[in-house]
Amino acid sequence: MAEPKRAGLLRYLKEAFAFRWNLLVLGGASAAALLSGQFDTLMPLFAAIEVVYLAGLSTLPRFQAAIDAKAHAEADGRLPGQPVQAALDAGTARDRILEVLKSLSEDRRARFLRLRARCVEMTRIANAVRGETADASGASTELRQPALDRLLWVFLKLLLSDQAIARFLQAADEPQILHSILDLQERIQKRQASLPETERADDRILRSLQDSLTTAELRKDNIAKSRGNAEFVAAELDRLENKIQAVTEMAVSHSDPDEMSSRIDAIAEGISQTEQTIRELQSITGVADVDQTPSILTADLSPSRMAVEGAPRRGP
């Protein structure tokens, strides 16, 4: 297959120069130079910085890919006049999804991709039932809304939480912790028995043993809490997967887009507890809470972009 035609250097430079933050900074710098009374001295410096900026950004592969995508979309009549910021945002969202996918084990990543593929396939069938063949992507208008992307994004982050908890539980040596607790309790009893009651409060050894016991019991509680979180996340993964499949399957039998939108919105609004759990687990998953949900159904998750360096991840 022939490689798509690139936008070209002039288009890259034009888009880099027209980038809103560049225009804002350049305008502010020009005004500052004019007001300072040293315009002839400062403007050549600002111009040199602008040349470095344009050369750097216009040769950045990700920037070029975003501009190429925008140019192709405009040529197809799909994105007339869309600003470069939208193309950059789309690339950033895709990179965010790929980053999470690449950090997942092979079985979890495959589970998500199967679910996403199921969504796309169901919407293709729904389009065919309604006679809508113009949408080459197969994602119908009502199912391309942010609510369904939010459900898929939550499902993806749940998979990452499930993996992180599994690794923590695998690394935690619970039998050793329980043995340590019993040993410390026994040593504390012996130490208390060997001391007069009046001296126990000031005994350094006894305080140290009691602090160690408190720490060991905290570790035990953390493991118990993690097991509870693991059970909840596993149950939520199954529940959410069934919900997503059900709502996409309903698209085939429901012809009213408003009804479908309301159903998806209702499901999306019902996952607040799940999102709260994900936020609580951020310290071990490493996924930051973001305001904007990336577009998952329309993201480019082709095998070439899903290539992972080194051997694939397996196990927990």
221: which 2 tokens?
């509680």
- pLDDT tens for each residue of the chain, 316 residues long: 344 567 788 888 888 888 877 788 888 888 887 887 787 888 888 888 888 888 888 888 877 877 877 776 666 544 444 454 444 455 566 677 888 888 899 999 999 999 988 888 877 776 676 665 444 444 444 444 567 788 888 899 889 889 989 999 988 889 999 999 999 999 999 999 998 988 888 899 999 999 999 999 999 999 999 899 899 889 989 988 988 888 777 766 655 556 666 666 666 666 666 777 677 666 555 555 554 677 787 777 766 555 544 344 445 5
Question: Tell me, what's the pLDDT at 118?
Answer: 86
Question: Tell me, what's the pLDDT at 142?
Answer: 46
**Which has the closest alpha carbon to 116: 296, 276, 259, 284?**
296
Question: Tell me, what's the pLDDT at 310?
Answer: 39
Question: Tell me, what's the pLDDT at 287?
Answer: 53
d(CA 1, CA 233): 43
d(CA 188, CA 58): 68
Query: What's the CA angle centered on 55, arms 52 and 57, to 5 degrees?
Result: 105
Question: Tell me, what's the pLDDT at 316?
Answer: 59
d(CA 284, CA 281): 6
Three-state DSSP at 295 gives coil
281: which 2 tokens?
């687990």
DSSP 32-88: HHHHHT-HHHHHHHHHHHHHHHHHHHHT-HHHHHHHHHHHHHHHTTSSTT--HHHHH
**Which has the closest alpha carbon to 248: 232, 240, 158?**
240
Helices (H), 172-256: 174-194, 204-253
279: which 2 tokens?
């936020």
Threshold 0.75, pTM exceeds: no
Q: Is 63 exposed, middle or buried (0-12, 13-18, 19+ CB in 10 A)?
A: buried
d(CA 314, CA 305): 19
Print burial letters for 98-116: b (CB count within 10 Å at least 16), e (below 16). bebbebbbeebbebbeebb
Q: Which residue has the tokens 């009046």?
A: 198
Q: Residue ranges per domain, the chain? A: 1-82, 105-173+222-316
Q: Please say whether the beta carbons of 249 and 167 come within 8 A.
A: no
d(CA 195, CA 299): 69
Print burial letters for 147-161: b (CB count within 10 Å at least 16), e (below 16). bbbbbbbbbbbbbbb
